[in-house]
Structure 1
Amino acid sequence: MSTSILRLVWIYPDLLSTYGDRGNLLVLSHRAEARQIMTESIMVRSDQVVPREADIYLIGGGEDGPQSLAAQKLIADGAVTDAAARDKVVFSVCAGYQIMGRSFIAGDRQHAGLGLLDITSDRGPTRAVGELAGDVHPQLGLPTLTGFENHGGRTHIGQESAPLVPQVSHGIGNDETSEGAWRGKVIGTYLHGPALARNPQLADLLLSWAVGRPVDQLGQLDDTWSQQLRQERLAALA
């Protein structure tokens, strides 16, 4: 960690904060502090400079106009790119996920992304709306991913990144085959819900990366209610 306090940065909530994505920040803060890991939550508006000394950076979803503006500002700011180069954790959702890639389509134009993930995004033939689920890439050691998707984009993964979910069992995800992408400590997903409330083990993985300790050394929490939520959603798909 950059300091004795875990610093969580919520990027551009005035531009990209749809479908309860701020919940990801709240989940990380709660799960850290329940383990006696003190946190500082920093919300950075689009007219502010993104802190360079932080531990986890989060960015959510939004519409085309705010998405393209956010990408331009983040490229000019450089803090997230620098943070990823220093092995800090970046968790991105939907429009924010596309921004982490090499390019994306917004407003019928192609825009440059940050290039932190080897992905490109364009438009799909239909809008992907509904529940999504699938088994997570085995290297991450996580249970089935579950969440809600609502996006018109399709994302294509290059050789320098891996899918978060190699094969979806329900939903569209990137391209009706895979969902999300990751490289190093940068993870992107189309899932709302918010994603970390639906997938607490994923939240713990991000925390473990940030504090430099294995997940099994973070300490156990009572996940009765989150597991009940997961089971209800997965049962509905079955």
Structure 2
Amino acid sequence: MPDELGIVHVYPELLGTYGDRGNVLALVHRAAARGITARVIEVALDTPLPRDGDLYLLGGGEDSAQLLAARSLLADDRARSVLAERPCLAVCAGFQLLAHRFEDADGQPQPGLGLLDVTCGRLARRAVGEIVTEPEDLPGVPTLTGYENHRGTAVLGPRARPLGRVVTGVGNGRDGWEGARQGHTFATYLHGPVLVRNPALTDLLLSRVVGELAPFDDTDVERLRDERLDAADPRRHRARRALLGHWAA
């Protein structure tokens, strides 16, 4: 376990839309709950990624910001090796930046870092709204809740695995999958922020660095999870209300 957890936030001035900066705060919060000190390192555009980070985060961004981020990452001769060697969470535009390629606002293909065996295209219509997915082969991680607002698709190659299967929402836009993971990298279209809404996923990322974590009951976050899951699935909401009514009786 490192003496201090180094959380590297990549290009926060570009890749931080829809509250994705909250993913950093979630990691700091849940690390502190276990007595682990975290240091946040913000990397500015056109600055080489530090090699000594423990966790790396890339958030979402608009099309123009994504192109600037892509240019900067591709010009950084250490970016591929650094991000391949350490646990990384990439959200929305960050997801596409780690793919083989993605399409810009004009539908033109643009190169990504190729750390994920994924190719990203464009949806016919923007996907906007609550999204629920069931994790794929992630023991201990329950149903994932998030908010999507994107035009991107994601086609997974044989070396990448999905993060989960879509229950409600659009996700990757085909095959019923959402997100991707490969090696130490986790990628998703889920905002929310995704780590605030899904503390078990936060803990999974932390455990990749510090090992097994002590249990931590965060009642407020669990209440938020229930609210968002109910909002995405009215049937679940009705079933929960009926069950609460039964208990009250």
Could you state the TM-score of these two structures normalised by the residue count of structure 2?
0.89
Matched, 1:56 2:55: yes
Residue in structure 1 matched with residue 231 of structure 2 by the alignment: 236
> Which runs of at least 4 in structure 1 moved beyond 3 Å after TM superposition?
none
Matched, 1:200 2:195: no
Distance 1:120 1:28 in 2: 28
Q: In structure 2, the residue corresponding to 1:19 is in which secondary structure?
A: helix
Q: In structure 1, the residue corresponding to 2:149 is in which secondary structure?
A: strand
Distance 2:88 2:125 in 1: 29
Tell me how far 1:57 sits from its aligned partner: 0.4
- Say which of 176, 198, 214 aligns to 1:219: 214
One-letter amino acid matched to 1:161: A
Tell me how far 1:227 sits from its aligned partner: 0.7
Count matched residues. Answer: 231
Matches within 5 A, 1:74-113: 74-86=73-85, 88-108=86-106, 109-113=108-112
Superposition RMSD on alpha carbons, in Å? Answer: 1.3
Distance 2:140 2:80 in 1: 26
Distance 1:36 1:141 in 2: 22
Distance 2:133 2:43 in 1: 32
Q: Deviations over 1:23-63 (max 9, x none)?
A: 00011011111111111101111032221111000010111
Distance 1:163 1:181 in 2: 4
Tell me how far 1:147 sits from its aligned partner: 0.2
Tell me if structure 2 keeps the 8 A contact 1:57–1:80: no
Identical residues among aligned pairs (%): 48
Tell me how far 1:196 sits from its aligned partner: 0.2
One-letter amino acid matched to 1:171: G
One-letter amino acid matched to 2:62: E
Distance 2:62 2:158 in 1: 28
Tell me how far 1:173 sits from its aligned partner: 0.4
Q: 1:219 to 1:141 in 2, by over 3 A?
A: closer
Residue in structure 2 matched with residue 15 of structure 1 by the alignment: 14
Unaligned runs of 5+ in 1: none
Residue in structure 1 matched with residue 172 of structure 2 by the alignment: 174
Residue in structure 1 matched with residue 144 of structure 2 by the alignment: 145
One-letter amino acid matched to 2:217: D
Distance 1:19 1:97 in 2: 15
Q: In structure 1, the residue corresponding to 2:172 is in which secondary structure?
A: coil
Q: Deviations over 1:86-112 (max 9, x none)?
A: 3x1110000001111100011322111
One-letter amino acid matched to 1:197: V
Distance 1:128 1:39 in 2: 34
Tell me how far 1:139 sits from its aligned partner: 3.8
Q: 1:78 to 1:227 in 2, by over 3 A?
A: farther
Distance 2:200 2:98 in 1: 22
Q: 1:140 to 1:118 in 2, by over 3 A?
A: farther
Tell me if structure 2 keeps the 8 A contact 1:90–1:185: yes
Residue in structure 1 matched with residue 162 of structure 2 by the alignment: 163
Could you state the TM-score of these two structures normalised by the residue count of structure 1?
0.93
